[in-house]
Amino acid sequence: MNEEELNSVPQSQFDFMALRKPMAVFSMVLVLVSIISLAVNGLQFGLDFTGGSLVEVEYSQEQPMEQIRQTLVESGYESAIVQTFGSPTDIMVRLAETHTATLGDDVLAALRAGSGGAEVTLLRSEFVGAQVGDELREQGGLGMLFALGVVMLYVAMRFQFKFSVGAVVALGHDVLIVLGLFSLLKLDFDLTVLAAILAVIGYSLNDTIVVADRIRENFRKLRKGDAVEIINHSLNETLGRTLITSLTTVLVLLALFYFGGEMIHGFATALLIGVFVGTYSSVYVASNVLLAMKVVREDLLPPVKEDPAEIDDRP
């Protein structure tokens, strides 16, 4: 293979790194806003994490919400939160009450009695004990940290320490922003959203590694140019792939978002946000960290072998 030929610059060359300072500020602002929102608003934890009860029913005809609420209050469920989901005939009732063997059925019976002739079908009823909720929250948080740790280790092993810091900062950035948006928009955070966030970690990592792989390759291959130029070059080379993969993933996620139904909505939302943030972060966050840590060619050269003949052979 011919060295000079591979050095040729691709046709489209966008100077990503020229924008790196404003983008760094942009990222920091996003992360800061997310942290503030998380601190002030917190997350709207779903039933999985808070514990409590939930009953979802479907009415055969639309009912005024006020009337449903009134029915529940009269039956002794003063703390009930009534909301629609999906269509106006689908009603979700959330209760903070602790569990009794018949709570779901009692609520259903109360709703039927007060429905004024409309048929009421039970779609779903859930109860999660407070302790189970706490445990799930703890497990989820631990899982997320553990995932980040394992990723950092793997990247440090396969690439280099500076890359693993870059990857983990990028992942932390993505996770925080997705969480921050969920907190800002007051979206329900349940188990499927947690799964989505772990999937975001996987996805964003995928992106970051593809870029890192190219940066490593170019550092070894291209003799000319400083770190900024090489990173720019690598980003341009991988840009096509990054955009196409993001596009196909967004396509399927849109299918899930619009056709997947209520139970999967939060999942699709989190992943959609995650794909956008993840794509952006693999371009700007990971590379920025690499530059900030002053990555140099020597970091990425294959380890020097003991055999002196090998060293002599190096050009």
Nearer to other proteins, 16 or 267 (CB): 267
Query: Is residue 100 near other proteins by the rule CB under 8 A?
Result: yes
Distance CA 51, CA 98 (A): 8
Which of 23, 103, 1, 11 is closest to 281 using CA atoms? 23
Query: Is residue 210 near other proteins by the rule CB under 8 A?
Result: yes
How buried is 172 (Cβ within 10 angstroms: 0-12 exposed, 13-18 middle, 19+ buried)? Answer: middle
* CB-side neighbour CA atoms (13 Å) of 141: 6
Interface of this chain with other proteins, residues 103 to 122, rule: CB under 8 A: 104-105, 121-122
User: Which residue in the set 13, 19, 158, 185 belongs to the binding site for other proteins (CB under 8 A)?
Assistant: 158
* CB-side neighbour CA atoms (13 Å) of 185: 13
Query: Is residue 230 near other proteins by the rule CB under 8 A?
Result: no
Q: Residue 207: how many CB atoms within 10 A of its CB?
A: 26
Return phi, psi of residue 55, to 5°: -130, 130
Q: Please choose, out of 16-24, 30-38, 96-104, 298-306, the segment that lies near other proteins by the rule CB under 8 A.
A: 96-104
Query: Is residue 199 near other proteins by the rule CB under 8 A?
Result: yes
Distance CA 110, CA 107 (A): 5
Strand partners, 93: 55, 82
Residue 70 Cβ, how far from other proteins at the closest point, in Å? 18
Query: Is residue 237 near other proteins by the rule CB under 8 A?
Result: yes
Which two tokens mark 166? Answer: 């870059």
Query: Is residue 9 near other proteins by the rule CB under 8 A?
Result: no
Query: Is residue 169 near other proteins by the rule CB under 8 A?
Result: no
Instruction: Determine contact, residues 315/237, Cβ cutoff 8 Å.
Output: no
Query: Is residue 124 near other proteins by the rule CB under 8 A?
Result: yes
Q: Strands, DSSP E only, in 229-285?
A: none
Q: Please choose, out of 35-43, 174-182, 187-195, 298-306, the segment that lies near other proteins by the rule CB under 8 A.
A: 187-195
Interface of this chain with other proteins, residues 281 to 300, rule: CB under 8 A: none
Query: Is residue 85 near other proteins by the rule CB under 8 A?
Result: no
User: Which residue in the set 73, 255, 301, 311 belongs to the binding site for other proteins (CB under 8 A)?
Assistant: 255
Which two tokens mark 143? Answer: 């899982």
Residue 50 Cβ, how far from other proteins at the closest point, in Å? 13
Question: Is the CA virtual torsion 10, 25, 200, 248 positive or negative?
Answer: negative
Query: Is residue 81 near other proteins by the rule CB under 8 A?
Result: no
Nearer to other proteins, 39 or 101 (CB): 101
Which of 132, 122, 121, 123 is closest to 99 using CA atoms? 132
Q: Please choose, out of 27-35, 61-69, 239-247, 304-312, the segment that lies near other proteins by the rule CB under 8 A.
A: 239-247
Which of 81, 77, 65 is closest to 106 using CA atoms? 77
Q: Please choose, out of 134-142, 218-226, 288-296, 297-305, the segment that lies near other proteins by the rule CB under 8 A.
A: 134-142
Query: Is residue 245 near other proteins by the rule CB under 8 A?
Result: yes
Query: Is residue 228 near other proteins by the rule CB under 8 A?
Result: no
Residues 6+ apart with CB under 8 A from 251: none
User: Which residue in the set 98, 161, 223, 311 belongs to the binding site for other proteins (CB under 8 A)?
Assistant: 98
User: Which residue in the set 35, 260, 276, 293 belongs to the binding site for other proteins (CB under 8 A)?
Assistant: 260
User: Which residue in the set 39, 40, 117, 259 belongs to the binding site for other proteins (CB under 8 A)?
Assistant: 259
Cα angle 4-8-14, degrees, rounded to a multiple of 5 = 155
Query: Is residue 192 near other proteins by the rule CB under 8 A?
Result: yes
User: Which residue in the set 129, 186, 220, 296 belongs to the binding site for other proteins (CB under 8 A)?
Assistant: 129
Which two tokens mark 16? Answer: 């990503």
